[in-house]
Amino acid sequence: MMRRDEIFHWLLEEDENCLKDLWQRADAIRRENVGDEVHLRGLIEISNHCIRQCGYCGLRSGNKDLDRYRMSEEEIMSCVDEAETYGYGTVVLQSGEDYGIETEWLSRIIRQVKKETRLAVTLSLGERPDEDLEAWRKAGADRYLLRFETSDEGLYHSIHPSLPGGVSNRLAMLKTLKKLGYETGSGVMIGIPGQTYASLSHDIDLFRKLNLDMIGVGPYLPHPHTPLGQGDRRRMIPEEEQVPNTEQMTYKVIALTRIVCPDANIPSTTALATINRERGRELGLMRGANVVMPNLTPLQYRAKYEIYPSKACISEIPSEYHSCLHDRIGSIGKKVGTGQGDRIHRFG
């Protein structure tokens, strides 16, 4: 087991040879625990409406420059069909926190997907009430993704304001999700202004304590139409304590996450592919990750799901991307996974 002070040390490590050891250790642990299969999850960004005001995200309700959309049931089902055609094991339905996504409407879609396909259904719809989570679980949803973003409470509340009438508590919601029987995923952004090395090492340690099934980490990327992107700093910290939002730091966090959570499913994220379009996804897979989430959102909506600018997948055409994906995965000595790609529990 890696202690928190060791995680902290690794986050500060700059020596290329030492880092090579870290990548190799993470890759060996990945192979031993989850094998060489890369699981594909088809991502469908079903709505960009959001009632929240996260200081970092382009979908925040305060961003009036964004043209909003919500996909219809037919459009969603047509993306689901595509996922089946490409042989993916899972669809991920993601959106802003959008109450236009009504509980029963989505339950109906989940039931249909479960009835007509063999796909696992993952939801990533923000902080919905327990009744919604329960209804969707009953309808057949298998998994839920909700990043806690940072375990530094002060930083979290300063960049993720609560809504009137309730304090945002994503850690409590993760517990509820587990209790309801969802496979549960979480994660953080790397390099949020005000995020220290100490707090990031705490985040990674917390992944282990939460016994997460899936862990997504990616660099924070500034969006010019957000307070953080415009330089608003609620949290001032000494420069030397600030975690950089770099590619290298992202690999370190992926590798350390694999070492502390050997059997978790860890995606090589779009945000990583955005900072290195050529090799980011592959290098993530070579340094601890074992999941890729190809984007199936119809092209006319893709650019509107602008969490941050210049997202890597904005013009990826699913059929073209799919045809080169097997080659890209094969070129790094791995193979595309079959089945739903559930977590293989080895550590309780």
Q: How far apart are CA 328 and CA 275, in angstroms?
A: 18
Instruction: Convert 251-262 to b/e letters by CB count within 10 Å (16 or more is b).
Output: bbbbbbbbbbbb
One-letter amino acid for residue 72 of the chain: S
Q: CB-wise, 107 or 124, nearer to ligand SAM?
A: 124
CB of 175 to ligand SF4, least distance (A): 19
Q: CB-wise, 47 or 340, nearer to ligand SAM?
A: 47
CB of 266 to ligand SAM, least distance (A): 15
Q: How far apart are CA 290 and CA 308, in angstroms?
A: 24
Q: CB-wise, 124 or 290, nearer to ligand SAM?
A: 124
CB of 156 to ligand SF4, least distance (A): 12
Q: CB-wise, 22 or 312, nearer to ligand SAM?
A: 312
CB of 302 to ligand SAM, least distance (A): 14
Q: Are 68 and 304 in contact (CB under 8 A)?
A: yes
Q: Are 47 and 95 in contact (CB under 8 A)?
A: yes
Task: Give the total of residues touching ligand SF4 (CB under 6 A).
Answer: 9
φ and ψ at 335, to 5 degrees?
A: -130, 155
Could you tell me the sign of the dihedral formed by the alpha carbons of 67, 71, 76, 78, in that order?
negative
Chosen from ligand SAM, ligand SF4, none, partner binding at 60 (C-beta under 5 to 8 Å by type): ligand SF4
Q: CB-wise, 126 or 318, nearer to ligand SF4?
A: 126
Q: CB-wise, 97 or 316, nearer to ligand SAM?
A: 97
CB of 85 to ligand SAM, least distance (A): 25
CB of 274 to ligand SAM, least distance (A): 9
Residue of 110, 103, 117 whose CA lies nearest to 140: 110
How far from 4 is each of 138, 155, 197, 259, CA to CA, in Å? 38, 20, 11, 12
Per the structure block, which two tokens stand in for 172? Answer: 């409590």
What is the per-residue binding string for ligand SF4 in 105-134, x denoting contact by CB under 6 A?
---------------------x--------
What is the per-residue binding string for ligand SF4 in 38-67, x denoting contact by CB under 6 A?
------------x-x-x--x-xx-------
For strand 90-95 and strand 291-292, is the pairing parallel, antiparallel, or unpaired? unpaired
Count CB atoms within 10 A of the CB of residue 121.
23
Q: CB-wise, 123 or 329, nearer to ligand SAM?
A: 123
Say how far residue 143 (Cα) sits from the centre of its chain.
13
CB of 52 to ligand SF4, least distance (A): 4
Q: Are 10 and 22 in contact (CB under 8 A)?
A: yes
Q: CB-wise, 59 or 214, nearer to ligand SF4?
A: 59
Strand partners, 120: 90
CB of 199 to ligand SAM, least distance (A): 15
One residue of 43, 88, 93, 96 binding ligand SF4 per CB under 6 A: 96
Per the structure block, which two tokens stand in for 214? Answer: 């899936």
Does 97 participate in binding ligand SF4 (rule CB under 6 A)? yes
Chosen from ligand SF4, ligand SAM, none, partner binding at 223 (C-beta under 5 to 8 Å by type): ligand SAM
Sequential DSSP letters for 43-77: EEEEE-------TT-TTSTT-TTS---B--HHHHH
Interface positions with ligand SAM (CB under 6 A):
56-57, 59, 94, 96-97, 124, 126, 146-147, 149, 189, 218, 220-221, 223, 271, 307-308
Binding site for ligand SF4 (CB under 6 A): 50, 52, 54, 57, 59-60, 96-97, 126
